[in-house]
Amino acid sequence: MKILTISAEVAPFAKAGGLGDVAASLPKAFEQLGHENLVVLPKYGHIDIRKYSLQPTDIIVAVPMGTWTEYARLWKGILPDSLVTVCLLENADYFDREGIYGNPEGFTDNDRRFIFLTRAAFEAARTLGFRPDIIHAHDNHTALAMPMLKINYSHDAFFNKAAGILTIHNMAYQGLYDSQRTMQFMGLHKRHFFKGSWFEQYGAVNSLKAGIMFADKVTTVSPTYAHEIRWTNSGEGLQDVLHARAADLVGVLNGVDYTEWNPEIDTMIYKNYAQNSLAEKEHNKHRLLVDFGLSTEEILDGTPLIGMVSRLTPQKGIDLLEKSLEHFVKNKIARVVLLGSGENRYEDFFRYLSKKYPRRALVQIGYNNSLSHKITAASDFFLVPSRFEPCGLTQMYAMKYGTIPIVRATGGLADTVVEYDARTGYGTGFVFHQYSAQDLSNAMNRALSHYRVKPHWDIVRHNAMSQNYSSLIAAQNYINVYQWALEKVR
Ligand code: ADP
Ligand code: GLC
């Protein structure tokens, strides 16, 4: 199959969260399964073109934007450790800015930037002679690829045999745009937009809704989240839209690129280790603590280390930590290491904690890929107390590193972490259900109580490391969805 992936993030070039990881690991896995890929993303100003050997071409693509034409120069490269072709769209006006989305509020012309990206992806594919069987868009940023396929390109023989797939990574971001501008940039007659139309919500264009309505198949990133978004407020106001497409909606659990996230070969951690050499994991903990300035005495004091790497947004359950974490740190029950960035109030909470307990609350505000690997390898436990979590990747990474996840049973966290049962020796982590600080504290206490009981500690780590959430499994599941979609359009 020929698969065109369009995404606002593709790791390692441009990544704000898990979307970037998945938009890279899936095409790599498709390639291993024998499929052909073209991956399209913007050439953002911050992308390190030298590090990734990205090359400019002399191909300029004309991009219809309503009644006029705009242009993108194509840059080409490959996804590291693969032969997957990546095409980056250069347009300095749109993409040569600080960051990807312009957080926290978003750039005011994100509608125009992402419509340009999406439309340019079709035209780049045509120019490169890549006639796709599948057009796979990710999240609201590129969701308008679905109506484009079904309206703008419906009579275009190059594209109209392709099936359109939309993957929802997060219902909380929907891309609400001004209707006049959107119809204009998409080159669509205003008759396509009216109250109750597939584009419309509350008088605006809702990109995610339009994507859901026009896609041949809609997927989301875990089975539990697929259920939650229809039946709970995780649907963020689009429950009815999802009900309307229920027959074509499926949860496909994300997978992990184990060529990148594997303690046996990870080049970013201090020392490689495997299930049968967990003593080396301890070495990673020591080195991380040294890097955070702790003394030998402190390093050897036997305190368990709880790691966390996260965007700091309301989704991630930080308000539960505000109510519970200090107790553990203050009473020397645990040491915490956090890497994250996001909303000021959450950053301030962690700054407060680290200022008050500099030896036991180790905090790095910012984004740092290499440190995220080191923390995953060095920690004893990994905390993901999310309010909601479409899938979550960090708990899956943690398990592979023998770092025991403490998670809330929501979305993909519920699908991937099983509470450890001391009687049966079954389970991979510690799980709480109610969104409350008390339930989180109880789960942390259960987790910590097993830390010093060596037989249990060995078994739960062994169980966690034995899990297989490979992106090859996810990719095969997507291929099945693609085949199902093609039956519909051909
Ligand atoms: P989300 O996509 O909601 O942020 P995921 O768990 O799916 O959550 O993916 C988050 C990804 O982003 C992981 O690869 C994680 O390691 C990475 N990440 C998050 N925050 C940081 C940070 N501050 N520095 C480095 N990597 C980060
Ligand atoms: C989103 C979700 C996260 C998921 C990621 C990749 O950012 O918040 O749960 O793992 O996308 O699908």
Shortest-distance ligand to the CA of residue 255:
2
Cα-to-centroid distance, 367 and ligand 1 (Å): 9
pTM of the model: 0.98
**pLDDT single digits (tens) 421-468:** 999 999 999 999 999 999 999 999 999 999 999 999 999 999 999 999
Write the residue with the smallest CA distance to atom 17 of ligand 1: 17
Main-chain dihedrals φ then ψ at residue 281, nearest 5 degrees: -60, -40
What does the alpha-carbon distance between residue 281 and residue 117 come to, in Å, rounded to a whole number? Answer: 43
pLDDT range class, residue 103, cuts 50, 70, 90:
confident
Q: Does 18 sit in the ligand 2 pocket, CB within 6 Å?
A: yes
Where on the phi/psi map is residue 202: left (φ > 0), alpha (ψ -120 to 50), or beta? Answer: left
Beta bridge partners, 2, equal 36
Q: Do domains 2-255+472-489 and 275-468 have the same CATH topology?
A: yes
CATH of domain 2-255+472-489: 3.40.50.2000
Cβ–Cβ under 8 Å, residues 81 and 259: yes
Q: Does 484 sit in the ligand 1 pocket, CB within 6 Å?
A: no
CATH topology assigned to domain 275-468: Rossmann fold (3.40.50)
Mean pLDDT of the chain: 98
**pLDDT single digits (tens) 351-381:** 999 999 999 999 999 999 999 999 999 999 9
pLDDT at 104 over 90: no
Cβ-proximal residues to 474 (8 Å cutoff; 6+ apart), any chain:
25, 26, 29, 252, 253, 254, 255
Q: Specify the pairing of strand 381-384 against strand 85-90.
A: unpaired
Looking from the CA of residue 376, the nearest atom of ligand 1 is 16
Looking from the CA of residue 391, the nearest atom of ligand 1 is 7
Q: Does 21 sit in the ligand 1 pocket, CB within 6 Å?
A: yes
Q: Does 18 sit in the ligand 1 pocket, CB within 6 Å?
A: yes
Locate the domains of the chain by residue range. Answer: 2-255+472-489, 275-468
Cβ-proximal residues to 347 (8 Å cutoff; 6+ apart), any chain:
312, 340, 341, 365
pLDDT the model gives residue 490:
86
Decide: helix, strand or coil at residue 305.
Answer: strand
Cα-to-centroid distance, 393 and ligand 2 (Å): 7
Q: Does 392 sit in the ligand 1 pocket, CB within 6 Å?
A: yes
Query: Token match 């984004």: residue?
Result: 367
Cα-to-centroid distance, 392 and ligand 2 (Å): 5
Q: Does 368 sit in the ligand 1 pocket, CB within 6 Å?
A: yes
Token readout for 353 is 């904690």
Shortest-distance ligand to the CA of residue 251:
2
What angle do helix axes 318-330 and 344-356 make, rounded to 10 degrees?
Answer: 0
Cα-to-centroid distance, 451 and ligand 1 (Å): 26
Cα-to-centroid distance, 241 and ligand 2 (Å): 21
Q: Which of 170, 310, 478 to mutate to test the pocket of ligand 2 (most atoms within 8 A of CB)?
A: 170
Write the residue with the smallest CA distance to atom 7 of ligand 2: 18
What does the alpha-carbon distance between residue 303 and residue 328 come to, in Å, rounded to a whole number? Answer: 11
